[in-house]
Structure 1
Amino acid sequence: MEDFDVSAWLGLLSQTTRFITLDTTAADGLIVERFEGREAVNDDFRFELDCVSASAFIDLKPLIGQPISVGIATAAGGRRYWHGIITHAASLGADGGLARYRLDMQSGLALLALRRNALIFQDRSALDVVTQVLADYPQLKVRTEVTTPLRTRPICTQYRETDLAFVQRLLGEEGLSYRFEHDQTSSDDGPGHTLVIFDTQAAQPTGAPAAVRFHRIDATEQDDAISVFSERRQLVPDQVTTASWKPDQVLSVAGTAQAPHDGNAPELPSLDVFDADRSGRFDTAAQAQHYATHRLDALRLPARTFRGQGAVRTLEAGKSYLLTQHPDLSGQSFVPLTLDHVATNNLGTALPHLRGSQTDDSTLGKGSYRQQFDAVPAGTPIAPAHRDRPLAPGVQTAIVTGVPGDTLTGTRDHQVRVQFPWQRGTAPLPGGLTDTMSQHLPQGHAPGDHHSGTWVRVAEANAGAHHGHSFVPRIGSEVLVEYAHGDIDHPVVVGQLYNGPATPPFAAGENSGANHPGTLSGVQTQTLDGQNGSRWVLDDASGQLRHSLNHSIADSQLNLGYLIDQSGNTRGGYRGEGFELITAGWAVVRAGEGLLLSGTARAQGQSTQMDAAEAIGQLKAANATAKRLDSAATQAKAGGLAANRAQTDLQQVIDPQQNGKYTGPVNGQASTKPSGSQRSGGDPVERFAAPAIMLESPESVALTTPNSAASFAGEHQHLTSQRDTHLAAGATLAAVSGDSASLYTADGGMKIIANHGPVSIEAHTDAMDILADQSVTVTSTTDSIQVLAKDKIVLQSGQSTITLDGQNITIACPGNFTVKSGTHEWLGGEGKAAQLEPLPQGLTQLKSDYPRSV
């Protein structure tokens, strides 16, 4: 190492005449030796500053985060400034009285990369969200030059993204770019640099000076110049097509943007970029078109670019400049997109040899500046490159929220609001955080009510137009949430979960208190006030399979299979097997086409629905019996069984050999029974041809009630038994006929006996006949027999008669008249009128046609 006079160098550590100046309040005595930097549209700037100082003991800690300004002398005699904050500081060593340090300068965007957050923004545009995020960083000034209104997003979620990644993603999705503008002053007031957000329709600013010349770079030249400027072309996509499914309208919203065709270009296939990665992105076709347009603008930026080198110290990224004095491209205006800087300070020639230079400046003299840039023609729409959304991390759990005090809050389509455990705000989930760490969003995004998040769709096992399942999660329920296409802004509830306070209705296993290992499954609903509603239980206990459908109203139950009692999740005592319908209220069975109640079993259920072969056979036999008895009664001049006609009509309706069958296909399927191995081709399937009701049993049928029972028929009522029919009444038995009555026995006798009380047979308006093929015996065992007539009594046997006619008695016989008596007295004449019991007069004449219903 060469010897040098340190005291001589101390005089050089002054910025009064320096090519590069450094301004920071964090440390005094730092002089920039050289710097390299990079600026770009849609990216943060970063400058690496190599500095020297007379102090080898500068405390680096206070430097981090402090504002810093770097200036460079311009050809016009002024200075070009860059402002930022110190994001990195390192000591590069010391030798003697001089020390080197390296500082990194970036914009306030560097802070955004250091905060990772989880936030939900509701009903705001992407620009509104970006502005709110940036408001937490006073190190950034923000200006917007957005000419097109942006769509309002129902929900915009930042989940485990850095603020920088989140902001850049939102700007990219809306086609918004950004650049930095630096205050051209070394003032320490404010951050000194402004983040400018603009869209493709915003006016492109012009640099100062507006024109730059193409010329060699020489120390004798007074003006800055560009020494290298060349054009580049690249093959890029020529079309973008996008589509997004809109479920609330069952519609795909699409848009297409296509680049103008170049007639001089070779014929190539369509280079289309099809983007349809997620649903719900667009509400209108105009929004889809806007997205496709700025996506195509971003893809076509490399189609025509310029690469340049020079020493124009006032060149800025994102501003327009006119090129002059170029042999081929003069008059072309260009906008730098990336700009790389390198400069060395005018500190003399011996300083780099203090410890050996950290960089090779052999091609760059002291007090010099060089640059390299990539640019696009002015007027080219500048849009940011597409940034893919981070995929949502699998499934999450959330709690359903809603209107305070309500049990359920939802939409017509069964959408609900949910709140996640990671949401912070005024009403987080139990144990959650209220501090959002944001000065501009102190209320957070966890309201704990119907304002939480957005409406979330609920996936059902079956969902269609006016059909499907319907289970809307109640407020307070824990739900399982997935994300459509992995998009954090499109949550979908895919299930509900049991937890500590929410136990299963049929809990089993450890700590459940159930007396089974988990044989019960099903559904238990709950009323809006928290009471039990309806319950469907499937019991899979071995050999004790059971279905039970219960409702708490009127304790209504439908039980099938192995019947037991059940209390909560506990299986109770045995109650039987089969089918049971119970209700404490009213029960109705209505069948518009007919009803069959049968106690006849079918082996393995092998039959058709309305197969009533046994009952029909019994009805046929009963009909035959009734017809024989009717014929016998008619021949004996007793009243016939006119109701037999109705029984014949009934048989015609239910008998499959007559009308009781299907006569053609039903809904396209043959209505015949299986034949052999074929599913059809046999006998027609039975059905009732009229809405008849049939009750049939191979054993006894009983109808009982402790109260009264009534039976009514609008026409005939037919009662036929193959053997005996018994009518028994504990008190009075009364049979009343509106027309006539007939009692007839075809074989055997008939008895009318009154065990207590008289027997009375009366004919109120007509004659009465008592006929017997053999003798007639009238006996009074303890009293008298009286035969009374108003006018005449005639007793006749053979040709002999005794006539009692008024005051006369006439005895006539063709043979002897013999009177035998122990004594014989002939008294004088005497008469007494017969005391006849009066019969009812003026009885109501009943109509021959009775109403069938009232």
Structure 2
Amino acid sequence: MDNWSALFDGQTRYVLDINDSTVKADVLRFRGREALSEPFRWDIEFTSLHANIPPEQVLMKYASLRMRGGKNVHGMVTRLEWLSTSRDQSHYRLTLSSRLTLLGYTRQCAVFQNLSVPEVVEQVLRKHGLEGPDFEFRLERTYPARELITQWRETDLQFIQRILSEVGIYWRTEMDDVRGLDTCILADSQLNYQFDVQLPYSEPSGLFDGAADSVWDVRTWHNIATGTVATRDYNYRTATMPMDATVSVRSDAVTTGAHYRYTAPYRDAGDDTSPEPETESGAFYARIHHERELSRSARIHLFSNTGHLTPGQVLEPQGDVITALKEGVILTLVTFRGARDSRLHVSVWGVPYTERYCFRPAEIPRPLIPGTLPARIESREKNDIYPHLDEQGRYRVRLDFDRDATDPGYGYLWLRMAKPTAGESSGWHMPLTDGTEVAIAYSNGDIDLPYIACALHDSEHPDHVTRDNHTRNVLRTPANNKLRMEDRRGEEHIKLATEYGKSQLNSGHMVDSQGQRRGTGAELRTDEHGVIRAGKGLFVSADAQPKAQGEALDRDAALKEIDRLNQQLQQLEIAAEKAQALKADVDSQIQMFAQRLKPLNEALLMTAP
């Protein structure tokens, strides 16, 4: 008699309760999907005496689907669909989802600094109203704080799924029947699987099998897997340090080949000989990726009739089973199908259990930013007249898309700036001050690898070269130190100037501040003291050297003039002898010319034609 009651209790086999709603639902049929690292979803068709259910009576309401076999599904109604209405009742379909599904309705761009992946995930979950009992981290590793984690045009759900997949953290759902809510469990090792799930491996034998729980009809798929994973990255903070790691996880899979991954990215290479390398090192990421590859090397499918199966369990089929089932199966995907007039049908997907490596969710690639984003240089003091730099010459910026309030000078990490040239204590660097607009580029498009590509003028910081002075090439600092080169034909000039003492070096066609001609040639001027010092001698000449041809120290004209003067001195000597003057004075003048003036050593020589 019990066998028959198990088969023909159609109206009470499944019950749907919607909290805080007047809707009374009679379950007609349903399909459910539960997977590791995914929110669950149950599409439930039901009938009701309500001919026109207002959406607000159902949507965003907590609800529970209860099965006579003992399985309960607690979630939130995220979708309502009217299908038909007859004289007696109306036919609807709703979707019962994990509360994490609601994170998919928030899409944004955000910046997280100096937080670990679990800390960022917790912050996002709490922002959506999830508290301590709603999620639990069961982590065997300690995760380091990252300098930067960027959310770029992703929903909050996509974002946490991506960053969790990067470090190999999977999550599953448990049902809290006391609170009537779902709980998210986040884990990173085999220790947090659910063990001791045993079912007989036997095909149902018809109507009189007692509705006994079992699994049957196993199918397996085996693939070749990559044998080795090698990683390499570059860290400008430790530019010469090797950043290579190579890992091959021991397994029973048939393997071949190697997978080389450049720019994982990571900060340290780690110890690739250790089975437990430092978290988020190169060896860690190589191992995580190889574990993903090995997890895909074998797949198992089973059918069952029990509703207690759920992702994250290690199912141990009992009886005469194939080798792939001997150690158990990690359930990764479970689908359910049932109706008021039929039993529950369960389809199970999984991978063979092993102690050598853990299930890892598929890696979700980071969004790419192929171009640049606007930002502004930021100092700790508003309108600071001096640049705010660190010991490496890096800048702080404020990204235009970032809406979070932060203290001045702390809105983003320290960034390098690309320059025309760079070398050891050499290069080109004109420091940028607070408020300067810059374009932020991303290495290989990676949202977490930014740098300053260039600086730009804008409405608040207009360009100093416009259509009004388009023939000029100007390099000018905020304090008006200036190098100006005029290219207007026939008026070419160069001006090197500083405001202090109005010290200037002008050459060519000289103009005043109004652009009016004030002379030609060259001018060295200052309102302060002037000094010209030349340890090996100074030669000042007014002798022409057309078109700047000839040697810079060409003194032929000057020497010829001095020779002529010496000849005059000798003639004066003869006259002086007759006048009985001292010959020694004249000899000393000639000797000075021979020893000092002619080779231009430690002397000042000024000549003019």
Q: Same fold (TM over 0.5)?
A: yes
Q: Provide the residue aligned with 1:47 in structure 2.
A: 42
Distance 1:108 1:643, change over 3 A: farther
Distance 1:647 1:332, change over 3 A: same
The question of 1:30 aligning with 2:19 is answered no
The question of 1:84 aligning with 2:75 is answered yes
The question of 1:601 aligning with 2:547 is answered no
Decide whether the 8 Å contact of 1:595 with 1:693 is kept in 2.
Answer: yes
The question of 1:175 aligning with 2:165 is answered no
Q: Provide the residue aligned with 1:754 in structure 2.
A: none
Q: Which of 347, 350, 373 does residue 371 from structure 1 map onto? A: 347
Q: Which amino acid aligns with 1:535?
A: K
Q: 1:410-429, CA deviations, whole angstroms, 9 ceiling, x for partnerless residues?
A: 213332222233322xxxxx
Q: 1:119-178, CA deviations, whole angstroms, 9 ceiling, x for partnerless residues?
A: 222211111111100112236711101121112112222232211111111112222111
SS at match of 2:343: coil
CA distance in 1, matches of 2:287, 2:444: 23
CA distance in 2, matches of 1:643, 1:32: 129
CA distance in 2, matches of 1:402, 1:202: 47
Distance 1:221 1:264, change over 3 A: closer
Distance 1:55 1:546, change over 3 A: same
CA distance in 1, matches of 2:242, 2:96: 45
SS at match of 1:245: coil
Q: Which of 541, 544, 549 does residue 496 from structure 2 map onto? A: 549
Decide whether the 8 Å contact of 1:400 with 1:479 is kept in 2.
Answer: yes
Q: Deviation at 1:300?
A: 2.0
Q: 1:293-318, CA deviations, whole angstroms, 9 ceiling, x for partnerless residues?
A: 11221222111232222223211111
Q: Provide the residue aligned with 1:204 in structure 2.
A: 192
Distance 1:15 1:263, change over 3 A: closer
Q: Which amino acid aligns with 1:484?
A: S
Q: Which amino acid aligns with 1:205?
A: Y
SS at match of 2:511: strand
Give matches, 1:627-642, under 5 Å.
627=570, 629-630=572-573, 633=576, 638-642=581-585
Q: Which of 213, 220, 242 does residue 224 from structure 1 map onto? A: 213
Distance 1:237 1:649, change over 3 A: farther
Q: Deviation at 1:203?
A: 0.7
CA distance in 2, matches of 1:494, 1:263: 48
Distance 1:47 1:263, change over 3 A: closer
CA distance in 2, matches of 1:524, 1:517: 14
SS at match of 1:492: strand
The question of 1:194 aligning with 2:183 is answered yes
Decide whether the 8 Å contact of 1:598 with 1:695 is kept in 2.
Answer: yes
SS at match of 2:335: strand
Q: Deviation at 1:111?
A: 1.1
Q: Provide the residue aligned with 2:59 in structure 1.
A: 64
Distance 1:96 1:306, change over 3 A: same
Q: How many residues align?
A: 584
SS at match of 2:192: coil
Q: Which has the larger radius of gyration?
A: 1
The question of 1:521 aligning with 2:473 is answered yes
The question of 1:402 aligning with 2:402 is answered no
CA distance in 1, matches of 2:564, 2:605: 16
Decide whether the 8 Å contact of 1:295 with 1:385 is kept in 2.
Answer: no
CA distance in 2, matches of 1:637, 1:52: 143
The question of 1:129 aligning with 2:129 is answered no
Range 613-622 or range 121-130, more displaced? 613-622
Q: Deviation at 1:616?
A: 2.1
CA distance in 2, matches of 1:133, 1:300: 31
Q: Deviation at 1:277?
A: 6.2
Q: Provide the residue aligned with 2:605 in structure 1.
A: 694
Q: Which amino acid aligns with 2:349?
A: F
Distance 1:303 1:16, change over 3 A: closer
Q: Deviation at 1:204?
A: 3.2
The question of 1:388 aligning with 2:365 is answered yes
Q: 1:18-37, CA deviations, whole angstroms, 9 ceiling, x for partnerless residues?
A: 22221212353212222111
Q: Provide the residue aligned with 1:773 in structure 2.
A: none
CA distance in 2, matches of 1:615, 1:150: 79
What is the root-mean-square deviation in Å for CA atoms of aligned residues? 2.7
Decide whether the 8 Å contact of 2:216 with 2:302 is kept in 1.
Answer: yes
Greater share of strand: 2
Give matches, 1:522-671, under 5 Å.
522-527=474-479, 533-566=480-513, 570-571=514-515, 573-627=516-570, 629-630=572-573, 633=576, 638-642=581-585, 644=587, 647-648=590-591, 650-651=593-594
Distance 1:504 1:295, change over 3 A: same
Q: Which amino acid aligns with 1:578?
A: G
Q: Provide the residue aligned with 1:157 in structure 2.
A: 150
Q: Deviation at 1:378?
A: 4.1
Structure 1 runs of 4+ off > 6 angstroms? Answer: 14-17, 261-264
Q: 1:56-86, CA deviations, whole angstroms, 9 ceiling, x for partnerless residues?
A: 3222342112112112233xxxx11122111
Q: Deviation at 1:221?
A: 3.0
Q: Provide the residue aligned with 2:316 in structure 1.
A: 322
Q: Which of 456, 461, 476 does residue 497 from structure 1 map onto? A: 456
Q: Provide the residue aligned with 1:271 in structure 2.
A: 258
Greater share of helix: 2
Decide whether the 8 Å contact of 1:31 with 1:52 is kept in 2.
Answer: yes
Decide whether the 8 Å contact of 1:626 with 1:644 is kept in 2.
Answer: no
Q: Which amino acid aligns with 2:375?
A: A
Q: Deviation at 1:486?
A: 1.7
Decide whether the 8 Å contact of 2:220 with 2:300 is kept in 1.
Answer: yes
The question of 1:413 aligning with 2:389 is answered no
Decide whether the 8 Å contact of 2:303 with 2:345 is kept in 1.
Answer: no
Q: Which amino acid aligns with 2:412?
A: G
Instruction: Point out where structure 1 has 5 or more consecutive residues left out of the alignment.
Output: 1-13, 347-365, 425-444, 510-515, 528-532, 661-687, 699-854
Range 100-109 or range 459-468, more displaced? 459-468
Q: Which amino acid aligns with 2:122?
A: T
Q: Deviation at 1:584?
A: 0.7
Q: Provide the residue aligned with 1:799 in structure 2.
A: none
TM-score (norm. length: structure 1): 0.64
Q: Provide the residue aligned with 1:351 in structure 2.
A: none
Q: Deviation at 1:586?
A: 0.9
CA distance in 2, matches of 1:646, 1:487: 77
Distance 1:131 1:33, change over 3 A: same
Decide whether the 8 Å contact of 1:417 with 1:450 is kept in 2.
Answer: yes
CA distance in 1, matches of 2:555, 2:127: 83
Q: Deviation at 1:395?
A: 1.8
Q: Which amino acid aligns with 1:483?
A: Y
CA distance in 2, matches of 1:375, 1:419: 46
CA distance in 1, matches of 2:22, 2:532: 95
Q: Deviation at 1:232?
A: 2.6
Q: Which amino acid aligns with 2:72?
A: Y
Q: Provide the residue aligned with 1:303 in structure 2.
A: 297
Q: Which amino acid aligns with 1:377?
A: Y
Q: Which of 458, 461, 465 does residue 420 from structure 2 map onto? A: 461
CA distance in 2, matches of 1:179, 1:563: 77
Distance 1:303 1:72, change over 3 A: same
Decide whether the 8 Å contact of 1:307 with 1:373 is kept in 2.
Answer: yes
SS at match of 1:626: helix
CA distance in 2, matches of 1:558, 1:386: 62
Q: 1:364-386, CA deviations, whole angstroms, 9 ceiling, x for partnerless residues?
A: xx234332323332434111222
The question of 1:98 aligning with 2:102 is answered no
Decide whether the 8 Å contact of 2:334 with 2:346 is kept in 1.
Answer: no
Decide whether the 8 Å contact of 2:508 with 2:521 is kept in 1.
Answer: yes
CA distance in 2, matches of 1:262, 1:205: 19
Q: Which amino acid aligns with 2:484?
A: V
CA distance in 2, matches of 1:17, 1:492: 64
Q: Provide the residue aligned with 1:826 in structure 2.
A: none
CA distance in 2, matches of 1:51, 1:204: 36
Q: Deviation at 1:561?
A: 0.5
Q: 1:349-375, CA deviations, whole angstroms, 9 ceiling, x for partnerless residues?
A: xxxxxxxxxxxxxxxxx2343323233
Q: Deviation at 1:251?
A: 3.7
Range 413-422 or range 550-559, more displaced? 413-422
